[in-house]
Chain A
């Protein structure tokens, strides 16, 4: 969020501020290790997110995680400690703290759709994004491993679609909601990832979507960077579209940072919509 995903950072902060959610960045957080940690070292895959959980417990707050992989890894860490005494002992020894495990771990989308609620979100709309046809992309790790992340249906989640529909977006149903974007292989196996992504983009085009909505920095980056030849599908973070509907200036500004131009879609739909402000 401090680097390649700055659009997500800016729009998340702006949207939460608008909704009255006070955010505090986890002080001195470390990387959760993502795929690389669980690939090479099972213990690290648990102790890295555990150090963050330690800090969060010390702060005495709940945690909102915007990245699907960090969310999944942190949930797995907490779940393992709750259910496996030996592992818990190992983690507590290494991290140097006894965990209370009373922190609620939310994905940002879950928090907005479930805790804040669609009615509250609707109250903040300055202009509805009525003209925008989009498909919602959840990717792998929001819904998997399903017993642990515990979010919505594992094959056909609806959270994000409902959230988008609440601000007027025509959220179209499509079959690639939880397909894999290629994740970290984007760097080392770029061609294979381009194959996956270009299929997804073609499917979105067939569904008459003008844009894809995502809820993860790596999904967004892969879907944007690994499109096939001639494909130019804008890929939004869901928070950007919320920010546009709320009329937040900083979100409009940050849309320029996308690698695939978002201007035409925004001008066609949101621009026109601003004429019929609520």
Chain B
């Protein structure tokens, strides 16, 4: 099976949902990140409805979405666009299908790795590791230093006691 094509049942479910869309564009007009997307929400949905899901799996859109849910809350048919995007992201991520918006993909991975390791986010470690793997080595250095001196970035991580309970959830 071609991995860049969604399984039939997910595809069918999304297509059914999208039959309700009459392309009013409220999703795109309210989307805070639309300007950064290659396919703003309305176009994104139209492409999916037309069966172009492999293009959408490799779109910037799915990673640029900030999950604010403005589109969902304003859609006259309550189409849960963020949920569709989440499903696509998880699918793409598990199969390593896309290189788009790498820093954001790395951010999510490092964030979850941090939870797996400590049960909580160790902010300084998380940011450091993200910088290392995303290649954004020099962004916000001044800001980071300022936060460090304000005592907002702890040097040592807090690890929860029953970390094995959290690690079990990752299996």
Contact = CB atoms under 8 A, between A and B. Distances in A.
A225 B169 contact: no
A184 B111 CA distance: 10
A188 B103 contact: yes
A183 B67 contact: yes
A36 interface: yes
B170 interface: yes
Contact of A44 (B109, B112, B151, B158): B112
B40 interface: no
Contacts of A13: none
Given A225-B143, A259-B146, A3 B153 contact: yes
A154 interface: yes
Interface string A215-241: 000000000010000000000000000
Contacts of B169: 43-44, 47-48, 51, 94-95
B107 A154 contact: no
Contacts, number: 150
Given A30-B119, A182-B32, A39 B143 contact: no
A30 B166 contact: yes
A145 B33 contact: no
Interface of A: 2-4, 6, 28-31, 33-44, 47-48, 51, 94-96, 140-141, 143-146, 154, 178-180, 182-185, 187-190, 192, 195-196, 225, 257, 259
A146 B170 CA distance: 29
B53 interface: no
A140 B68 contact: yes
Given A29-B120, A51-B166, 6 more contacts: A3-B152, A37-B115, A40-B90, A40-B109, A141-B69, A192-B36
B152 A154 contact: no
Contacts of B19: none
Interface string B91-116: 00110000001011011110110110
B64 interface: yes
A180 B66 contact: yes
Contacts of B90: 39-42
Given A185-B104, A187-B107, A187-B127, A30 B151 contact: no
Contact of A36 (B35, B111, B150): B111
Contacts of A38: 67, 86
B123 A188 contact: no
B121 A31 contact: yes
Contacts of B104: 185, 188-189
Contacts of A184: 66, 107-108, 111
Given A41-B112, A51-B166, A190-B140, A144 B66 contact: no
B87 A42 contact: yes
Nearest to A35: B67
A183 B147 contact: no
Interface in B5-30: none
B111 A180 contact: no
Nearest 9 CB-CB pairings of A with B: A180-B68, A188-B103, A36-B111, A36-B108, A140-B68, A144-B69, A180-B32, A188-B104, A30-B119
Contacts of A42: 86-87, 90
B154 A3 contact: yes
A16 to B, nearest CB: 22
A197 to B, nearest CB: 10
Contacts of B127: 187
Contacts of A37: 112, 115
Nearest to A54: B165
Contacts of B123: 3-4
A184 B152 CA distance: 17
A178 B30 CA distance: 11
18 contacts: A4-B147, A28-B119, A28-B161, A34-B111, A36-B107, A41-B112, A42-B87, A140-B68, A145-B73, A182-B32, A183-B66, A184-B66, A185-B104, A188-B104, A188-B106, A188-B136, A189-B64, A259-B143
Nearest to A34: B111
B32 A28 contact: no
